[in-house]
Amino acid sequence: MARITIGGALAMEYQLDGRADAPVLVLSNSLGATMAMWDAQVEALAPYLRVLRYDTRGHGGSSSPAGDYTIEQLGRDVLALTEALHIDRFAFCGLSMGGVIGQWLGVYAAERLTHLVLCNTGAKIGSADSWNTRIDTVRRDGLATLADATMARWFTPAAAAADPLKVASTHAEFLRCDVAGYLSCCAAVRDADFRGHLARINRPVQVIAGLHDPVTTVDDAQAIVSAVPGARLQVLDTAHLSNLGNVAGFNRTLKTFLLPPA
C-alpha cells in the first residue's frame, strides 16, 4: 500500500495491482469497510486490469478531516487521486457508499469513465431520520453497538456459516473504523439523492444487487437500471456485501462486463 496527499491536505491510502499498461479499474469501499474488502476481486482481475483501490476519506489509512462530508467531495477525491497517479480514464466499481460515489462520477465526470459498476446501492439510500438516528447512536455509544447488526445485513446466514473467518475479519475492520470519519461519511450518504439525475449517465453501466440485501434492495437496483439508458442488472444470492457473499458470481459479472470477449 502507498499513501499520497491530494488537495494539499487529504492523505489517501491506496494500492495498485496488475500490469502497468492495462486498463484501470478503480474499486471503492462501502461505509465502514476498507480497501481490504476487495482482496478477492484484485486476485481475479489483476491479471487483466490495472486495479486501483483506496480507502475513502474517514476510513482505513486515509485521513479523516473534520466536519460532514458530501458525495461530491468523495467523488472529487477519486478524480484527484487518479489525476495524481496520471490516470486519465478508468472503469469504476463502487459498493454501497462506493456506488453512490460512482453515481456522482457518472453524472458529473463521465468523461473520465470507461465503464461504471454500481453494486448494492441506490439513488437515495435510507431517510434523513434513519441516518440521523444512526449518527446519534454511534456518537453516543460507539461503533460496537452497530457491529453485530451490520454483519447480519452484510452477510446471509449461509454465507456467514460458510466462511466465519471472513465475517470475523470484516467485523474487526468495521470496529477499527475511525468514528468521526464514519459519521462524516454517514452524512454524505444521508444527503445524496440522484433520483432524477441518472439519465445523464452516458457510459456502460452494470448494476449488481443482492437478492437478500435489506439495505439496498433489488427494487433499488432496478430503479437505477430503469433510469440509466442501457444499464444492465445482475442479481446475486447475497446480502449487502455481494462481492464477499458470492465471490465467484461477482467476479464473473465484472469480467463479463469489463473484459473483451475471449
Could you tell me the residue ranges of all domains in the chain?
2-258
Q: Using alpha carbons only, what angle is made at residue 25 by residues 12 and 172, rounded to the nearest 5 degrees?
A: 50
The model's pLDDT over 146-170, given as tens digits with 9 standing for 90+, comes to 999 999 999 999 999 999 999 999 9
pLDDT reported for residue 10: 93
What is the mean pLDDT of the segment spanning 72-80? 98
Q: Are 186 and 131 in contact (CB under 8 A)?
A: yes
Q: Using alpha carbons only, what angle is made at residue 44 by residues 156 and 208, rounded to the nearest 5 degrees?
A: 45
Q: Which residues contact 14 (CB under 8 A, 6 or more apart)?
A: 1, 2, 3, 4, 35, 52, 53, 54, 55, 81, 85
Task: For the chain, report the end-to-end CA distance as a whole number of angstroms.
Answer: 31
- CB-count burial class (<10 Å; 0-12, 13-18, 19+) for 239: buried
Q: Which residues contact 220 (CB under 8 A, 6 or more apart)?
A: 121, 122, 123, 125, 209
Using DSSP, state whether 17 is helix, strand or coil.
Answer: strand
Q: Does the pTM of the predicted model rise above 0.95? A: yes
What is the mean pLDDT of the segment spanning 47-55? 97
Question: Which residue in this structure is represented by grid cell 461503533?
Answer: 143
Taking domain 2-258, whether its CATH number is 3.30.2130.10 is answered by: no
pLDDT reported for residue 145: 96
Q: What single-letter amino acid sits at 39?
A: D
